[in-house]
């Protein structure tokens, strides 16, 4: 299994994003949490910041949209140069059309589900998506505790993916004490915030997490 580690820029120093990205050369992508204070009760940054990150980052960006009306906004993040644009099933009115628009704009299309959302209605449409994100905390804030009870859902998605080229991502509470559990359930792409940027050597933390998941 290919293991991908995506440090979340949400846990980095907002005044020094370029330095934060430069500190994690071993990472596969940079995870960018876009929140609008409507879909989730938090506000981060939007398209102008992502566009600037694309210009300055040596790593590709995985943009996680925790916003209302992703049908309207998601393609713009792909046009800005994001490698992957992931939107929430709960917020999209036309998830398949939105995924297709993201792909037409040049990015991979991901769909995310909250902990309480039934993922099964979307598994029949896996061909439309390049990534499925199973949230392992309620979206909106970093630093929450990993919900181990969601590993059955992760396993269900893994079984549905089979040999398709679809990444299975988990986000929330991922660290040295939880990543092996998520990997054993079938996840291959891991978002880690404070477990990377909260460490003295962020890149060493990335390598350690990769080793734990690979094992």
**What CATH number is attached to the domain comprising 58?**
3.20.20.70
Tell me which residues of the chain have a pLDDT lower than 50: none
* Residue of 36, 62, 130, 171 marked catalytic: 171
Angle at 146 between CA 120 and CA 169, to 5 degrees: 45
DSSP state of 173: S
pLDDT of residue 203: 98
Average pLDDT, the chain: 95
Number of domains in the chain: 1
pLDDT tens-digit readout, 90-148: 999 999 999 999 999 999 999 999 999 999 999 999 999 999 999 999 887 666 788 89
| Strands of the 84-88 sheet, one edge to the other | 4-7, 189-192, 167-171, 131-135, 108-113, 84-88, 61-66, 30-35
Q: Could you tell me which residues come within 8 angstroms of residue 9 by beta carbon, excluding any fewer than 6 positions away?
A: 17, 20, 21, 30, 31, 32, 33, 53
Q: What is the pLDDT of residue 143?
A: 66
Q: What angle do CA 187, 97, 132 make, to 5 degrees?
A: 5
Helix (H) or strand (E) holding 97: helix 95-104
Would you say 165 and 189 are in contact if contact means Cβ atoms under 8 Å apart? no
Q: Domain limits at 14?
A: 4-214
Catalytic residue among 28, 33, 62, 130: 33
- Asked about 118 being catalytic, the answer comes back as no
- pLDDT for 41 equals 87
H or E element in which residue 51 lies: helix 47-56
Examine the residue annotation and report whether 171 is marked as an active-site residue of this protein: yes
Contact 92, 101 (CB under 8 A): no
**Model confidence, pTM:** 0.95
């Amino acid at each position: 299994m290919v293991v991908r580690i995506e440090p979340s820029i949400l846990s980095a120093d907002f005044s020094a994003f370029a330095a934060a990205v430069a500190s994690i050369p071993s990472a596969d992508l940079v995870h960018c949490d876009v929140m609008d204070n409507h879909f989730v009760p938090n506000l981060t940054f939007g398209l102008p910041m992502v566009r600037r990150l694309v210009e300055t980052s040596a790593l590709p960006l995985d943009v996680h949209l925790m916003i209302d009306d992703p049908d309207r906004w998601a393609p713009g993040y792909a046009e800005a140069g994001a490698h992957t644009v992931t939107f929430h099933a709960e917020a999209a009115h036309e998830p398949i059309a939105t995924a297709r628009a993201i792909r037409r704009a040049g990015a991979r299309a991901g769909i995310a589900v909250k902990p309480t959302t039934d993922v099964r209605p979307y598994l029949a449409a896996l061909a439309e998506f390049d990534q499925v994100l199973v949230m392992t905390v309620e979206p909106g804030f970093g630093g929450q505790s990993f919900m181990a009870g969601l590993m059955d859902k992760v396993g269900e998605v893994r079984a549905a993916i089979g040999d398709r080229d679809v990444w299975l991502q988990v986000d929330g509470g991922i660290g040295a004490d939880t990543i092996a559990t998520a990997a054993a359930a079938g996840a291959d792409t891991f978002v880690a915030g404070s477990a990377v940027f909260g460490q003295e050597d962020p890149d060493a933390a990335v390598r350690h997490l990769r080793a734990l998941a690979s094992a």
